[in-house]
């Protein structure tokens, strides 16, 4: 059974096809309004989420399908000690596809190995978040008209930010990509991502602590929140949380056609004054996330029925 746990589970050609489907849905939503009639999506979220869960649910509803969901992790059988493997087997009896978020790295893979229906990873701990990456790629594609020949800056919590890890993996398969890693010393990109992705694929990258210095070169600036829930120590979080705050002043040296992305939720990293700047793309990115999830649900349900 085909599941999507990591962005690399999809080939570049499949991502191109998902982008084409998402663009077709944007053009003609009515053509897709009954595409998943009588199908059920189960959203299993063992970790807080607003947009990812609602985005999956809205996506399924706009495809004419239904959604079943548990109110919260603490009200599910996980609180009684049920394993992820058993939960996946049980939900396979009720639904046609699962979207799952879990605080443990690898949990979605365990679910996929035990479910008899497709599983989509909606975030597993600090590991990866492939559907956010699909949203990011559609945003870049719609803004820039391409996914190659781009200098992409990642700023903030590059250590724990799973959306960063997934997007770097995805971009590593395109040509002419340069990466600028902007973070405090303590929140640098994990060395396994540097070694296994950037160095292995010969992607030019630089590491810096200065957003101001990096700014003039960037085509894309991907801002991120410091991931409070993955810190062991509150003091460290408080010291690092406001390391970078993007404001209009810092944008003075940016390219006029820079695209600013953020997976959201924003805490303090982008001043609200930036929201009205035409370079701010993060709310469009939310909408694109819904269309890419529609495209992915359609693809996986179609493959499952073949």
- Residues with catalytic annotation? 51-52, 80, 101, 129
Binding residue (CB under 6 A) for ligand NCD from 42, 171, 264, 296: 264
Q: Considering the rule CB under 6 A, would residue 130 count as an interface residue with ligand NCD?
A: no
For residue 272, the minimal CB distance to ligand NCD (Å) is 17
The first and second tokens of residue 188, run together, are 């640098």
Identity of the residue, 1 or 267, whose beta carbon is nearer to ligand NCD in the bound complex? 267
Is 133 a binding residue for ligand NCD by CB under 6 A? The answer is no
- CA-CA distance, 288 to 139, in Å (whole number)? 6
Burial (0-12, 13-18, 19+ Cβ within 10 Å), 40: middle
Burial category of 101 from C-beta neighbours within 10 Å (exposed 0-12, middle 13-18, buried 19 and up): buried
Residue 99-128 contact track with ligand NCD, rule CB under 6 A, x = bound: ------------------------x-----
CB of 44 to ligand NCD, least distance (A): 15
Is 129 an interacting residue with respect to ligand NCD (CB under 6 A)?
yes
Identify residues 85-104 at the interface with ligand NCD (CB under 6 A). none
Choosing from 43, 114, 133, 163, the residue that interacts with ligand NCD (CB under 6 A) is: 163
Paired tokens of 61: 């509803």
Size of residue set near ligand NCD by CB under 6 A: 11
Residue 121's H or E segment, with its range, is: strand 119-124
Q: How far is the CB of 194 from ligand NCD (least distance, A)?
A: 20
Contact between 43 and ligand NCD per CB under 6 A: no
Nearer CB in complex with ligand NCD: 51/284: 51
Tell me the backbone φ, ψ of residue 145, rounded to 5 degrees. 75, 10
Instruction: Judge whether 127 and 163 are in contact, CB under 8 Å.
Output: no
Does 225 help bind ligand NCD (rule: CB under 6 A)? yes
Question: Which tokens is 3 given?
Answer: 């599941």
DSSP state string for 145-195: S-SSSEEEEEES-TTT-HHHHHHHHHHTTSSSEEEEEE--GGGPPPHHHII
CB under 6 A: which stretch of 4-12, 21-29, 176-184, 263-271 binds ligand NCD? Answer: 263-271
The C-alpha angle 68, 70, 73, rounded to 5 degrees, equals: 155
H helices of the chain, in order, are 12-27, 51-62, 84-91, 107-114, 130-144, 162-171, 191-193, 211-214, 234-240, 282-305
Site stretch for ligand NCD (CB under 6 A), options 76-84, 171-179, 237-245, 260-268:
260-268
Q: Which two tokens mark 224?
A: 């991120």
Closest distance to ligand NCD from the beta carbon of 263 (Å): 4
In the bound complex, what is the minimum distance in angstroms from residue 95's beta carbon to ligand NCD?
21
Report if residue 142 touches ligand NCD, rule: CB under 6 A: no
Nearer to ligand NCD, 32 or 45 (CB): 45
Minimum CB–partner distance for residue 2 and ligand NCD (Å)? 22
Which residues make up the interface to ligand NCD (CB under 6 A)? 51-52, 123, 129, 132, 162-163, 225, 263-265
């Amino acid at each position: 059974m085909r599941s999507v746990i990591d962005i690399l589970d999809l080939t570049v050609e499949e991502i191109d096809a998902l982008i084409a489907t998402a663009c077709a849905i944007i053009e003609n939503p009515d053509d897709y309004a009954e595409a998943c009639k009588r199908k059920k999506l189960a959203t299993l979220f063992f970790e807080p989420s607003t947009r990812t869960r609602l985005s999956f649910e809205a996506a399924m509803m706009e495809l004419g399908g239904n959604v079943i969901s548990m109110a919260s992790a603490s009200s599910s059988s996980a609180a009684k000690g049920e394993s992820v493997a058993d939960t996946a087997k049980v939900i396979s009896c009720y639904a046609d596809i699962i979207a799952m978020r879990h605080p443990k790295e690898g949990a979605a893979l365990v679910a996929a190995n035990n479910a008899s229906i497709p599983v989509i990873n909606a975030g597993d701990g600090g590991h990866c978040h492939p559907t956010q990456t699909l949203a990011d790629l559609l945003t870049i594609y719609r803004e820039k008209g391409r996914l190659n020949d781009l200098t992409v800056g990642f700023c903030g919590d590059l250590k724990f930010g799973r959306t960063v890890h997934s997007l770097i993996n995805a971009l590593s398969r395109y040509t002419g990509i340069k990466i600028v890693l902007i973070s405090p010393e303590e929140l640098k990109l994990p060395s396994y991502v540097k070694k296994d992705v950037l160095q292995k694929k010969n992607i030019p990258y630089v590491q810096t602590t200065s957003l101001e210095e990096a700014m003039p070169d960037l085509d894309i600036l991907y801002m991120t929140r410091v991931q409070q829930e993955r810190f062991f120590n509150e003091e460290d979080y408080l010291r690092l949380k406001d390391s970078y705050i993007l404001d209009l002043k810092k944008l003075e040296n940016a390219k006029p056609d820079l695209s600013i992305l953020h997976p959201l939720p924003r805490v303090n990293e982008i001043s609200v004054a930036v929201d009205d700047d035409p370079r701010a793309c993060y709310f469009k990115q939310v909408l694109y996330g819904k269309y890419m999830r529609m495209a992915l649900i359609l693809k996986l349900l179609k493959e499952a029925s073949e």
